[in-house]
Amino acid sequence: MENIAFYFELHQPLRLRPLKIQDRPDKMGIFWEEQNRDIFKRISEISYIPATKLLMESGIKSTFSLSGTFIEQALKYSPETIDVIDDYVKSGLCELMGETYFHSLASIWNEDEFKYQVNEQMHSIKSIFNYSPVSFRNTELIYNNRIAEMARDMGFRNILAEGTDEVSGRYSPNFRYLSPSGVNLYLRNYPMSDNISFRFSNTAWSGYPLTADKYIQWIKNSPGDIMNLYMDYETFGEHQRKETGIFDFVHYLGKYIEQYGMETLKIDEIQAKFSVKDTVSIDKTISWADTRRDLSAWLGNKMQNEAFSRLKHCEDCPDKKLWRYLQTSDLIYYMSMGEPEDFTVHEYFNPYRSPYLAFIYYMYALDNVCGNAGKQL
């Protein structure tokens, strides 16, 4: 194999302040301003900015999706992050994708709300980067045939999905496919992606240490047309700290790609290079979250289902913007207890260290924003 498609998710939620029942904040006071600011500024300095500069210097093409909540916080807390991404896009090396503005679960329950949020995100991308995305990725790669159809109806010609064990058992993720609605469908090669994002610094892993030369050889020896490597952008500098050698890995990856005559491609460039391998139908809703790779990361326990049900019943809330901030999937993800093998990941991301506290703070925020709306379920 001679071709690689890198895709990176750039998203930060507006985390909720850990409020007590006696607290009476104004409505924007439900958000943990200090925590959100400090986290965004820190990750910008150690990850977003240096990683983007490195990709550009290395001549590595990739595709970014930026949630609206990421864009808002970047403009507020780290304008340099926007500037360096803009430079990368203008260099011709970076494609920008469409997604839901609020990084929400709207696609699984409300088509009109889903399309509204995608249009909002597209408007932001156009106004800030003068860019009109033609490729789409849904929140946390949540995908089924209907979501692909909605993306097609909005004018997208490419969509991403997780190459789950069930799907990749029938269809290798290393090819270009079509959804039943005719959108180009690209499946994430999750073992190869996770070798970087989760296993890079794991000294107990049989593949440790992962050098750029070794990794490129794995790709060259893989069958298929394209190696689809999709991951959180925080992989570089946050999840895998600079001290692990992750930036050196990327630097030499660029050199070996060039040395071996390989090519990195943006998502929308794949169609011109490769023909369709097959049509892939996925009726069951899948995602890239947790080991089960379904919706259980958000809807796997009673707390999450109660919170999600209340959220949906608050649709007529007078303050739509705040209600949409509360749709951000992370806020419900924090309530997940997950499978035992997912516990470490959930604990890492949860700012409250307890799914029960996440539930309490979330329901209090809904009360604050929506009042009595949706309480009678």
Sheet holding 184-188, edge to edge: 135-136, 158-162, 184-188, 177-178, 278-279
Distance CA 322, CA 365 (A): 10
Distance CA 222, CA 257 (A): 15
Cβ atoms 175, 226 nearer than 8 A: yes
Distance CA 244, CA 247 (A): 8
Residue 218 burial by Cβ neighbours in a 10 Å radius (0-12, 13-18, 19+):
middle
What pairs with residue 162 in β-bridges? 188
Give the length of the chain.
377
Cβ atoms 312, 1 nearer than 8 A: no
Amino acid in position 255: K
Backbone φ, ψ for residue 152 (5° rounding):
-60, -45
Say what the alpha-carbon torsion angle 345, 49, 55, 242 is, to the nearest 10 degrees: -50
Residue 141 burial by Cβ neighbours in a 10 Å radius (0-12, 13-18, 19+):
buried
Within a 10 A sphere around the Cβ of 285, how many other Cβ atoms? 15
Distance CA 297, CA 23 (A): 30
DSSP 3-state of 172: coil
Nearest to 211 by CA among 250, 243, 258: 250
Cβ atoms 171, 177 nearer than 8 A: yes
Two tokens at 26? Answer: 């104004």
Distance CA 325, CA 321 (A): 6
Distance CA 223, CA 308 (A): 42
Q: Which residues are known to be catalytic?
A: 140
Q: Where do we find the tokens 């006696």?
A: 22
